[in-house]
Amino acid sequence: MKLTGNTILMTGGGSGIGQALAHRLHEAGNTVIVAGRRKDALESAIAGRPNMHALTLDIESAEGIADFSDRLLKAYPDLNVVINNAGIMRFEDLTKAHDLTDAEATITTNLLGPIRLINALTDHLVKQQDAVIINVTSGLAFVPLTTTPTYNATKAAIHSYTIALREVLKGKVEVIELAPPAVQTGLTPGQETRPGYQPLDEFSDEVMALLSQQPTPPEILVERVRFLRFAEANGQFDDTLVKLNAFAAQARNG
């Protein structure tokens, strides 16, 4: 991936990892479009930044994504990089029957949303120079947090989908997976300052350094996520599962 001179779409760009990386990419010399549900958050993210733009996107709606892609390509026909970052994380209790509203919303946002958006933009991207799709997954795609089972499952599914997409678009569109560790963002209540989670600026610095490598790695893995990504391959899955969930419980309750 070239790091400058792109026209980049960042979904979920109004806060957290999406906003931080959108700012870094903008500072690197790219035109950046941030997209999300909340217009006020998007406008705040682009304030004072020429060549940074905002478009509202209802990632839960098939019709909304179709409308968004039409508006996007009409306004920014040079679009060549799509970063699927929008996502939600909800806690669930699997020990008893419970309302599945959160699980269904998680699947729609985290899994169907990126699939629908990629489908809407593929015909355009394959015609572009230096075209790239980056799908944001999670370290929890590889070792699950038991309190967020549907979130983990959607990220594992996007990991698999990304592998298939990379293979079929080889030579046409570069396909990259970004798997963050636990980062200090607003993804869940209190997470912005949670001890033991990676500071957002530190994470963003590391991601940009990895993206600048030539060739760009197909998986962007900061140091803190590598123990999850390779736990099974290293024969440490069971131990990592126990330690991860103990750490997460202590961090939330500490």
Query: Residue 40 carries which side chain, given as an amino acid letter?
Result: D
- Grouping H, G, I as helix, E, B as strand and the rest as coil, residue 199 is coil
141 CB-contact burial (10 Å; exposed 0-12 / middle 13-18 / buried 19+): buried
Closest CA to 81 of 53, 121, 41: 121
Contacts of 73 (CB under 8 A, 6+ apart): 79, 121, 124
Closest CA to 137 of 162, 116, 120, 112: 162
Q: Tell me how crowded residue 23 is: count the other CB atoms within 10 A of its CB.
A: 19
**Are residues 48 and 23 in contact, defined by beta-carbon separation less than 8 angstroms?**
no
**Are residues 186 and 15 in contact, defined by beta-carbon separation less than 8 angstroms?**
yes
Catalytic amino acids?
A: 151
Phi, psi of 39 (to 5 degrees): -60, -35
Residue 188 CA to residue 248 CA, distance in Å, equals 12
For residue 227, the Cα-to-chain-centroid distance in whole angstroms is 19
